[in-house]
Amino acid sequence: MTETRGPAPVPVEERLFSLVLALLATEAGLTKNEILSTVQGYRQRYVFGGDNSTLERQFERDKDDIRELGVPLETIEPLDESGNNHNLRYRIPKGAYDLPADISFSPEEIALLNLAAMAWREGSLSRESRHALLKLRSLGVESTEPVLGYAPRIRTREAAFDPLTDALGRRVLVRFPYLKPGDLSPRERTVAPLALVQHEGRWHIQGIDRDVDEPRTFLLSRIVGAVVRTKIPFESDDRGSAEAALSQLDAIWAANTAVVRARADSEAQTRLVNRRGSIRNPTGELTLHFTDLHLLADELAGFGPEVFVVSPPELRAAVRRRLELTAATHQPPAAPAPSAPAFSGPAAPTGGDRAEETV
């Protein structure tokens, strides 16, 4: 009897990259059905004439992810079919995703960028994605120049991803050190993994925490050491675990909001306005949804003076702490105290007390 296997899963970064390339390759845009049936990462699971609701939800999350990465994804509504979501078209206008005109590179810089692009492309993209790059060149992008304007900023997966995926397939317990925000040291967790899910561009493992015998969702970026796959099997019906984990994260995201002010025409404003669920208030302030206050604080602190947090106060304090730590880390070392001049007369005070006060 021949074993029938489904298509091999396509890595999420490859799926997002293929989606960006497809949306850049057309001026008119693509409908959702055209995307799901043709783009690498979707088409393998697309059912012609069947139920593709799960795939459609994946596409909705992917749209939010690439917008959060700063990609200007547009939705075009047909003029003669207003309100018909089925025929909406999606595209990335090439001019909006090009490098600014005032940025240029020397021949040496272009050579280095070419080498970096080759290493990244050969090391992380499949044959089909390399064909997509060739297709772009056939549309007019010269093969002798780096495809700088089309390289999306995609987060790499954490080191914990592969061992957790392996443990999921084997249905065995795992142990890993997990550092919660505010804790000084990590605590080892023993978990029965049920589902790996991506939410807001970050990977989470949903499972049963054996220490409390309750379901928990862990952020992979907070796993600070090696994931140990045990030989202890577990029995659990994990059907629907991924959907349940995403629904839980969506509920947290919807319930948490922050209000910020972003400097006009800054990178912060561009990125935050296009963030999933972002609302521009009449005052010009932005209301943002978030699932984790500490992760949002990291993101906002990265914009420096371009962002001011209006509320909640605990988020403003968290951003301030990060900025103060950054400033303290980059302070130049204190200059050594000047040595006392030679004195040939009576013994002078050593100045030891004053030196201690200075230190």
Q: Let me know if residue 230 belongs to a domain.
A: yes
Of 76-90, 102-116, 234-248, minimum mean pLDDT range: 102-116
Task: For tokens 């993209």, name the residue.
Answer: 125
Task: For tokens 């989606």, name the residue.
Answer: 19
Distance CA 76, CA 61 (A): 18
Distance CA 141, CA 208 (A): 49
Q: Let me know if residue 261 belongs to a domain.
A: yes
Q: Let me know if residue 4 belongs to a domain.
A: no
Mean per-residue pLDDT, 327-333: 79
Sheet holding 286-289, edge to edge: 279-280, 286-289, 257-262, 307-311
Give the predicted TM-score (pTM) of the model: 0.56
Looking at the structure, tell me whether residues 142 and 173 fall in a common domain.
no
State the pLDDT at residue 39: 87
Looking at the structure, tell me whether residues 42 and 134 fall in a common domain.
yes
State the pLDDT at residue 160: 92
Q: Mean pLDDT across the chain, nearest whole number?
A: 78
Among residues 243, 272, 290, the one where a domain terminates is 243
Domain count, the chain: 3
- Do 129 and 17 contact (CB within 8 A), yes or no? yes
Looking at the structure, tell me whether residues 234 and 261 fall in a common domain.
no
Among residues 213, 243, 273, the one where a domain terminates is 243
Residue 240 predicted with pLDDT over 60: yes
Looking at the structure, tell me whether residues 73 and 177 fall in a common domain.
no
Looking at the structure, tell me whether residues 23 and 127 fall in a common domain.
yes
Looking at the structure, tell me whether residues 216 and 263 fall in a common domain.
no
Of 2-6, 43-47, 255-259, 348-352, minimum mean pLDDT range: 348-352
Helix intervals (H) in the chain: 12-24, 32-38, 53-68, 107-124, 127-138, 161-170, 241-255, 267-273, 293-301, 313-329, 352-358
Q: Let me know if residue 69 belongs to a domain.
A: yes
- What is the torsion angle, in degrees rounded to the nearest 10, for the CA atoms of residue 338, residue 341, residue 347 and residue 350? 0
Q: Let me know if residue 280 belongs to a domain.
A: yes
Distance CA 136, CA 120 (A): 17
Looking at the structure, tell me whether residues 233 and 188 fall in a common domain.
yes
Looking at the structure, tell me whether residues 310 and 287 fall in a common domain.
yes
Residue 40 predicted with pLDDT over 50: yes
Q: Take residue 327 and report the two structure tokens written for it.
A: 């400033």
Mean per-residue pLDDT, 109-122: 59
Q: Which domain holds residue 297?
A: 256-329
Looking at the structure, tell me whether residues 135 and 32 fall in a common domain.
yes
| Longest CA span, the chain | 105
Among residues 150, 173, 205, the one where a domain terminates is 150
Mean per-residue pLDDT, 257-267: 93
Looking at the structure, tell me whether residues 55 and 175 fall in a common domain.
no
Task: For tokens 């790499």, name the residue.
Answer: 156
